[in-house]
Structure 1
Amino acid sequence: MKNITLSADDKLIEAARARARAEQTTLNEQFRRWLADYVRQEQKTGSAMALIEELRGQVRTGGRKFTREEMNER
């Protein structure tokens, strides 16, 4: 595991540590969770965009443009 150094306001750090203690964890553990979620969001976005591109090649409208109302019908 690699160490990194972050800078933040002292009061913010203390408040975050207090919250982590209340949740029976550490600020380091909370940061690791946040970092994993941050990366996962980007991966999900990439997967979603890949699916959209794949579907674009499969869905045909015959050149017809749908109205806003048609696109929002359920």
Structure 2
Amino acid sequence: MKNITLSIDESVLQAGRAYARAHNMSFNVLVRRLIEQTVLPQKDTWLHDTFSLMDAINVSSNGKKWTRDELYRV
């Protein structure tokens, strides 16, 4: 694996380190994953697309709560 040098604003670096620590990973792993997710084809884009569609529709449950039986009723 190759090493690279990056220039990054100190506040962004500290925030990135804090985020990585909170998610039990190193800053190096965080940066590697972000780059991989950005430049490599994603196998699970369907999941992202599904959640994007759900976020984009303008509907509301109006506070209605469903039971498990109601959710599984076909």
Using structure 2 for the length normalisation, give the TM-score: 0.51
More helix by share: 1
CA distance in 2, matches of 1:12, 1:37: 19
Aligned to 1:2, the other structure's residue is in SS state: coil
What stretches of structure 1 move > 4 A for 4+ residues in a row?
A: none
* Alpha-carbon RMSD: 1.6
Q: Which residue pairs with 1:57 in the alignment?
A: none
Uncovered stretches (5+) of structure 1, i.e. residues with no partner:
43-74
Q: How many residues align?
A: 42
CA distance in 2, matches of 1:38, 1:12: 18
**Aligned-pair identity (%):** 44
Quick one: which amino acid aligns to residue 31 of structure 1?
Answer: V
Q: Which residue pairs with 1:6 in the alignment?
A: 6
Q: Which residue pairs with 2:40 in the alignment?
A: 40
Post-superposition Cα deviations, 1:12-46, rounded to whole Å, max 9, x if no partner, equal 1011101100110011001111111122249xxxx
CA distance in 1, matches of 2:19, 2:3: 22
Using structure 1 for the length normalisation, give the TM-score: 0.51
CA distance in 1, matches of 2:3, 2:11: 22
Q: Which residue pairs with 2:47 in the alignment?
A: none
Alignment of 1:15 with 2:22, yes or no, is: no
